[in-house]
Chain A
Amino acid sequence: MGRQARLNERLMDWNQLQSKLIAAARKNPPSDHVPYAFEKRIMSHLAAMTPQNAWALWGGPLWRAALSCLAITLLCGAWAFASDRRADSSNSFSQDFESAVYAPPSQHAEDVW
């Protein structure tokens, strides 16, 4: 049996290789070293974060409320403008219609009387 074939055959023992590597990982736990004054770094982040949070707490909902109010105002304005125009046009039409229907008889009546 050639060396290459022997190597391949031995390599088929994946379970052993896998457990060997896992055992290697177990034997070498990661370091728990902490960089100098790391807690100070966290505390300074927290100190910087707190006022921002107060703004973020109010800022987000206020912006959303302002935008939705603006959208509602625009929609109401557009609706009022459109309905106004429709009302104007229907008014003139009704007046035109009325004068068209009643003008000749009234004119005729005036002539008669």
Chain B
Amino acid sequence: MEPSDAELITAVLRGDSASFEPLIRKYQSRVFATARRYARRESEVEDIVQEIFLKAYQKLGSFRGEAPFEHWLMRLAVRTCYDFLRGHQRNRESAFTDLTEPESNWLEQFVVQPDSAPEDASAARQLVERILVQLSPAARMVITLLEIEGRSVKEIAVLTGWSVPLVKVRAFRARAEMRKVLKNIAKEKYL
């Protein structure tokens, strides 16, 4: 029988650092999926995940065990991803280049017949990525958690450490920011 999270954490806190390995194995796929929402390059993703687990190890003493370890770890993951976005926000303006041909075609298809533009097309996925990259760190975080992952405002407040009213304000601003980016892209293409 495999030891529980609580048992593994107790062992780590007693000085048995090897007990941290099963915890990494158990949660690393979720942490990787989270990190890939905010970083594009695989080397950046690996660095973020590494930082999350190193922080988790260092801060394990602050885990009180009131909530599942996974929730605590995901809070740490989201906050580390936010720090990453803030650290790399200078790059977001320069990341913008002209639309690729498939992206252009998808947008054109949407303009002519909105319902026929497929949501599962890779061009749409690339276009979303292009837009998200240009958002401010807070806007990107809120759009990802609220709109893409479908989390509630309360959940986001817990994950990010922001207050509920702040999440609502940032969500409102994020939608406006996203629309502005969309308009800029469309203007460049059609006007």
Q: Is the interface of B mostly helix, strand, loop or mixed?
A: helix
Q: Is the CB of A25 within 8 A of B148?
A: yes
Q: A28-B120, A38-B28 are in contact. List 13 more A-B contacts (CB 8 A).
A: A22-B128, A24-B121, A24-B128, A25-B132, A25-B148, A33-B29, A39-B21, A42-B21, A43-B18, A43-B20, A45-B54, A46-B20, A46-B54
Q: Answer whether A43 and B21 are a contact pair too, CB < 8 Å, given A20-B124, A21-B131, A25-B128.
A: yes
Residues 88-104 of A at the B interface (beta carbon under 8 Å): none
In the bound complex, how far is the Cα of B128 from the Cα of A16, in angstroms? Answer: 14
A105 an interface residue at 8 Å Cβ cutoff? no
A108 an interface residue at 8 Å Cβ cutoff? no
Q: Answer whether A7 and B111 are a contact pair too, CB < 8 Å, given A24-B125, A24-B128, A26-B150.
A: yes
Q: Answer whether A27 and B120 are a contact pair too, CB < 8 Å, given A42-B50, A46-B54.
A: yes
- Residues from chain A with a CB closer than 8 A to the CB of B46 are 35, 38
A112 an interface residue at 8 Å Cβ cutoff? no
Residues 4-32 of B at the A interface (beta carbon under 8 Å): 17-18, 20-21, 24-25, 28-30, 32
A13 an interface residue at 8 Å Cβ cutoff? yes
Q: Is the CB of A20 within 8 A of B114?
A: yes
Partner of A34, one of B20, B28, B191: B28
Q: Is the CB of B17 within 8 A of A38?
A: no
Q: Is the CB of B190 within 8 A of A7?
A: yes
- Residues from chain B with a CB closer than 8 A to the CB of A107 are none
B119 an interface residue at 8 Å Cβ cutoff? yes
